[in-house]
Structure 1
Amino acid sequence: MKFAFLQEPPFCFTDSSGALHGCDAVLAEKVCQTLGLEGFSAVEAEFAELLPGLAGDRWDMTTGLFISDGRKKLVDFTRPIWMLSDGLLVARDNPRGFVGYRSVAMDQTGMIGVISGQIQHQTALRNGIPAERIRIFGTQAEAAEAVAAGVVHAYASVAMAHRGYLAGRPDAPLAVIDVTAEEKQPAAGAFALAKGNAPLRQRIDSCLGELLGGTWHRQMMREYGFSEGDIDRLL
């Protein structure tokens, strides 16, 4: 089983020795082991490569992605493995006073960063941020560094991903602003699989049904900063 991942803590990330960690990676490997699938191997990719890589048989499953109608035309999704809220990564002390997407839209010079192909790009547009004030990046690190350098004034992604990034960089001059449910409801994410393999998807779903919310899963998710409420939202 080849698993495609991004460097995006707490979901997936490698340490200095190259070992893979993160809640999505650990869960994927657990599912692989439980189902007796062929040896688990991880392939690092950029976000824009994930779905084309499935279609091209470069890997069998991806890290968790938000489920959308557009993506469901291209790939199949397992049952959800998390349901999370968006957040903005901003300069420390939030000098522009952002509270969500709409406040960025109202700031006539405010620039926002997004990752190519991620749902937050469309969310920014729907909340009134003009396309010319949206800067697109390839990776989490590039977008976060752009905020620190003042190239953009906010970076939109999952709030938990921002916190995971900052956990490994406590001295970074950055902070996380949670986007309210009024602007963007928490959304479900799942592993993505290539279309046309319903038996595999059904086996994975069955395994996830047994694992999610159980003692092992709850302990693992706590280790990566998830609350009981984050887990219960799935069940």
Structure 2
Amino acid sequence: MEHGHNNLDKEMNVTEHLGELRKRLIITISVFILFFIGGFIFIEEIFQFFKLGFEQRLQELDNQNTTLTVLGPFDILWVYLTLASVIAIAGTLPVLCLQVWLFIKPALTPKEQKVSLAYIPAIFLLFIGGLCFGYFMIQPLIFNFLVSLGDNMFTMMFTADKYFKFLLRITLPFAIFFEIPIIMMFLTSLGIVQPGLLRKVRKYAYFVLIIIGTMISPPDFILQIVVAIPLIVLYEVSIILSGIVARKQARKTEEFTTES
């Protein structure tokens, strides 16, 4: 009889967890849809912002072809959907993190709840910072290099879909890479990663980051190094932050042992 009661409790717990997960997913998806709709409402202003940056860059290069063209109506739709989606992803990210935190909150101690909650704004700010860094710092270098390759040799026609695909290829990886320090801090706090391990695999990490740099940049050695340097700096920042978290945990453990 007791065995049957335990099974019923387990089934109720699973049902409750699934219900809670469903609730968190519905909230996240609803927020994504709201931001997506908001992106569509202001799509012309958003598009004009990027178009103005594109035109200014070409004017600086003395390129007379300063207009974005489309090859068909579906290209316009693709650009609008892409821009609205990026706005929705950026806007939904802190809400997604909060919903994940609320879902795992019952399993955390009060101290763990407080510490993990502080990661949410950091994740959002780093994501936005990565997008801005990729767009304002790295993208102009790569764009100028690629345009200069065809200078006086080709008649260049810039299509909107190709240009925005180019922007996404440059900016989104940096938005993701900027999350590395906070991820390493979180994994260190869980005891999964240690700063000593990060230092030990440093040369392999550098090699991987340089390969990634070559994948998202043109076949130019200087540009590949320019792209790889911020990634290497982010890795070094990750080691430093991981070390800070590890030292704090070690001090807390020592204090707890002393008190005991």
The TM-score bracket by the shorter chain reads under 0.3
Q: Which has the larger radius of gyration?
A: 2
- TM-score of the two chains, using structure 2 as the length reference: 0.23
Q: Quick check: which one's strand share is greater?
A: 1
- TM-score of the two chains, using structure 1 as the length reference: 0.25
Q: Quick check: which one's helix share is greater?
A: 2
Higher relative contact order (CA 8 A, sep 6+): 1
